[in-house]
């Protein structure tokens, strides 16, 4: 199986599909990540706040896969935006790595107005080789505009909530027009989109599962996607999306599910430290 890659604006490449470990219990993370790596996954997305970086690191070490074949992302939590160098070193220690492939500011937390300074710190961490690429997560247009105007590096990635009921067409287009790749978190809408009539109808016609249909929709939109899974069977199901395509009618039907429903916080109001 060949997972497509996307070339970022810094010329590094990222696998378009991977595994997310949000809400994955730390005791289970090691085994699930190991299983994913056995099945061909090479892209793992974690974060300091998830509390499972050590499990990810152990799985990577035990897999025996050469480091250069893996793409590892972690994120700077909100209360560390003024302390990014120490925060990244802590994450690297837990992961057992000397660098990550992508380091993201997790949320803009606009009330505290520290994300621009955090971005400037990430630029320095990239220059020091502690992360190959740098980016942001949950940034809206005004947040992106500020870091670009006040920093010296355009984010390589903007990781945002995207699923059929929140397709984020405008923000995806805005990001892409700036050369920023978009990653989709909660790509299945916390599973709420799986039972939608449009999804079930397409899945039945293609003899695929609803999850495979939605993940394929993301891939064909050019998004980077990394669904969470809690079993070997689901891990195998999720990655098995590269031998079929959705036609124009199916893409339009899924695009038409947009309702503005969020499953996570609104970045304009989320200021948790």
91: nearest Cα among 108, 78, 107, 103: 103
Choosing from 50, 103, 112, 115, the catalytic residue is 50
- What is the C-alpha separation between 240 and 116, in angstroms, rounded? 39
In angstroms, rounded to a whole number, what is the distance separating the alpha carbons of residues 133 and 48? 17
Strands 157-161 and 131-137: parallel
Q: What are phi and psi of 269, to 5 degrees?
A: -115, -10
CA gap 211, 202 in Å, rounded:
11
Phi/psi for 232 (5° steps) reads -60, -40
160 CB contacts (<8 Å, ≥6 apart)?
137, 138, 139, 168, 171, 172, 182, 183, 184, 185
- At 265, list the tokens: 């916080």
Active-site residue, 50 included:
yes
Residues noted as catalytic: 50
């Amino acid at each position: 199986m060949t997972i497509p890659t996307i070339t970022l604006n810094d010329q590094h490449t990222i696998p378009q599909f991977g595994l997310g470990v949000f809400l994955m219990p730390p005791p289970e993370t090691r085994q699930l990540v190991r299983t994913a790596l056995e099945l061909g996954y090479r892209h793992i997305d974690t974060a300091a706040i998830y509390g499972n970086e050590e499990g990810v690191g152990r799985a990577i070490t035990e897999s025996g896969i050469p480091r250069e074949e893996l793409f590892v992302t972690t994120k700077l939590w909100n209360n560390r935006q003024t302390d990014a160098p120490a925060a990244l070193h802590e994450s690297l220690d837990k992961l057992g790595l000397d660098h990550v492939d992508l380091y993201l500011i997790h949320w803009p937390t606009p009330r505290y107005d520290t994300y621009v300074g955090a971005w400037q710190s990430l630029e320095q961490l990239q220059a020091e080789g502690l992360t190959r690429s740098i980016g942001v997560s949950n940034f809206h247009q005004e947040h992106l505009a500020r870091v670009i105007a006040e920093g010296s590096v355009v984010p390589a990635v903007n990781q945002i909530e995207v699923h059929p009921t929140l397709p984020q067409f405008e923000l995806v287009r805005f990001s892409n027009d700036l050369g920023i790749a978009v990653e989709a978190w909660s790509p299945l809408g916390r599973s709420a989109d799986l039972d939608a009539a449009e999804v079930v109808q397409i899945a039945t016609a293609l003899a695929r599962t609803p999850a495979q249909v939605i993940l394929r929709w993301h891939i064909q939109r050019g998004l980077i996607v990394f669904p969470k899974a809690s079993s070997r069977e689901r891990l195998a199901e999720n990655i098995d999306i590269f031998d079929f395509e959705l036609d124009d009618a199916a893409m339009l039907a899924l695009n038409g599910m947009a309702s503005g429903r969020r499953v996570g916080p609104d970045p304009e109001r989320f200021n948790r430290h």
